[in-house]
Structure 1
Amino acid sequence: MAEPTQPGDARIRRFSLRVLTGAAVAGTGLVLILTIGVTRPGETPPQTQPAAGARTSGPPPGATAPPPGRLAPEDRPRESDLRALDTWSNEIAAATKLPARLLAGYGRAEMWMRAEWSGCHLSWATLAAIGQAEAVGTGPLPVPEDSWKQWSARATGDGKQPDPKDIDDAALTVARSLCSTGADLATPQGWWAAITGSPTLAPEAQLIFDTATTLAQAAPRA
Structure 2
Amino acid sequence: MIAIGLILLLTIGITKPEQDTAATPAPATTAAAPPVEAVAPSPAVAAPEDRVRVSDLAALDAWARELAVATKLPATVLAAYGRAEMWLRGESAACHLSWATLAGIGQFEAAGSGPLPVPPGIWDRWAARATHDGKAPDNRNTDDAAYTVGRYLCSSGADLSTGRGWWEAVLSYTRSTADAQDILNATNTIAASSRAR
Normalising by the smaller structure, the TM-score range is: 0.7 to 0.9
Matched with 1:124 is 99
TM-score when normalising by structure 1: 0.71
Q: In the TM superposition, what are the counterparts of 1:1-222 in structure 2 within 5 Å?
A: 57-58=33-34, 60-199=35-174, 202-220=177-195
Percent identity over the alignment is 55
For residue 138 of structure 1, report the CA deviation from its aligned partner.
2.3
For residue 197 of structure 1, report the CA deviation from its aligned partner.
2.0
Please give the alpha-carbon distance, in whole angstroms, between the structure 1 residues aligned to 2:105 and 2:132.
Answer: 25
Please give the alpha-carbon distance, in whole angstroms, between the structure 2 residues aligned to 1:202 and 1:169.
Answer: 26
Show CA shifts across 1:113-151 (max 9, x none): 101100000101100010110134421111011110100
- Higher helix proportion, which one? 2
Please give the alpha-carbon distance, in whole angstroms, between the structure 1 residues aligned to 2:159 and 2:67.
Answer: 24
Q: Which moved more, 1:133-142 or 1:94-103?
A: 133-142
Show CA shifts across 1:6-54 (max 9, x none): xxxxxxxxxxxxxxxxxxxxxxx9x8xxxxxxxxxxxxxxxxxxxxxxx
TM-score when normalising by structure 2: 0.80
Gaps (5+ residues) in structure 1?
1-28, 32-54
Post-superposition, which runs of at least 4 consecutive aligned residues in structure 1 deviate over 3 A? 199-203
Aligned pairs, how many? Answer: 171
Show CA shifts across 1:57-108 (max 9, x none): 33x2433110120000001131110010001001111101000000000000
- Higher strand proportion, which one? 1
Gaps (5+ residues) in structure 2?
1-27
> Using a 3 Å threshold, how does the CA distance of structure 1 residues 56 and 181 change in structure 2: closer, same or farther?
farther
For residue 220 of structure 1, report the CA deviation from its aligned partner.
3.4
**Which structure would you say has the larger Rg?**
2
For residue 176 of structure 1, report the CA deviation from its aligned partner.
0.4
For residue 199 of structure 1, report the CA deviation from its aligned partner.
4.2
